[in-house]
Amino acid sequence: MKIKPIRSEQDYKDAMEELDKVFDAPKGTSENDQAEVLITLIQKYEDENFPIEDPDPIEAIQIRMKEMDLYPKDLMAILGTSSRGTISNILRKRRPLTLDAIRALGPKLGLPFDVLVKDYELVN
């Protein structure tokens, strides 16, 4: 296959088919080089045409809790609170994250601050 920019849906499909053929090629081969270039082109096309928005801060926390097998009581320890209600209200979007909470949760959960400081709608 002649490698070229991906400009259309058909180009994208063709590149994906070609990648399937060379994906498992051994390192150091021309097929592996081709796979690396195709992956870069495909990623660029997907980023431009299928953007994925970051979750809101609470969704990000909940996703990370699931990934790390954490429970609300674990957040209590991270935030230094003994109030289950505080954690419950934060996770149910009834109470906003404070700056102190963002500073504590970001590093412990491995979440970037720009995700945690995003605005989100509170529920009454």
Q: For 96, list phi and psi in degrees, rounded to 5.
A: -75, 155
**pLDDT for position 8:** 95
**pLDDT for position 1:** 61
pTM: 0.62
Report the C-alpha gap between 51 and 83 in whole angstroms. Answer: 38
The terminus-to-terminus CA distance of the chain in angstroms comes to 57
**Within the chain, which residues score under 50 in pLDDT?**
none
**pLDDT for position 53:** 83
User: pLDDT tens digits, residue range 52-81?
Assistant: 887 899 999 999 999 999 999 999 999 999
